Amino acid sequence: MHRENLLEKLDNYHPSDASEVEARLRMISFVKENPDCFQRHLKIGHITGSAWLMSRDGRRVLLTHHRKLNKWLQLGGHADGDSNILAVALREAKEESGIENILAVTEDVFDLDIHEIPPHGQEPAHWHYDVRFLFRVEGDDTFIVSEESHELAWVTPDQLHALDTDASVQRMAKKCVAIV
């Protein structure tokens, strides 16, 4: 079963708060009930992979000001059929930042979030079942802004309050501070 790897990661994940407890349970049910959960064509929603990308010293994180959603978020995107969500998150981090030398801090899930994506063009509103992993830049951290972003920025946890971020970004920042 192509979903076993993700289900194992979800089973082994220890949520940090009540919203993640709920997200974990909903995500497990969603993956079990939808064999095509990794496919974007699943109109109710799909699995996505995200990267909480830290600088080499762990003091900053790279965020994108997302073009479609118009808010500051972690890097990430659609699985497009790939059931290896860690690889999806890494691919998206590289594509959206132009940074090549990125390594996973661990292969374990770092954070979970389920959020509604508003309708856009012909695409109806749907849910992103977002599995997030912790990564670190191991070399040059010079980024290139992709067409998916208005801009990118390296930010410290103290700078997050000035940005339009959601509660899950704030939660990841708190987790990251605890690690470093």
Tell me the pLDDT band of 177, cut-offs 50, 70 and 90. Answer: confident
Residue 3: predicted pLDDT: 95
Nearest CA among 76, 79, 86 for reference residue 148: 76
Residue 176: predicted pLDDT: 83
Residue 36: predicted pLDDT: 96
Mean pLDDT, the chain, integer: 93
Query: Does residue 86 carry a pLDDT above 60?
Result: yes
Tell me the pLDDT band of 172, cut-offs 50, 70 and 90. Answer: very high
Question: d(Cα 41, Cα 38) in Å, to the nearest integer?
Answer: 9
Say what percent of the chain tops pLDDT 70.
Answer: 98
- In tens, the pLDDT along 93-111 reads 999 999 999 999 999 999 9
Question: d(Cα 32, Cα 123) in Å, to the nearest integer?
Answer: 24
The domain that holds 147 is classified in CATH as 3.90.79.10
Query: Does residue 89 carry a pLDDT above 90?
Result: yes
Domain boundaries, position 12: 4-179
Tally of structural domains, the chain: 1
Q: Which tokens hold the place of 127?
A: 């849910």
For residue 166, CA distances in Å to 71, 161, 163 come to 8, 10, 9
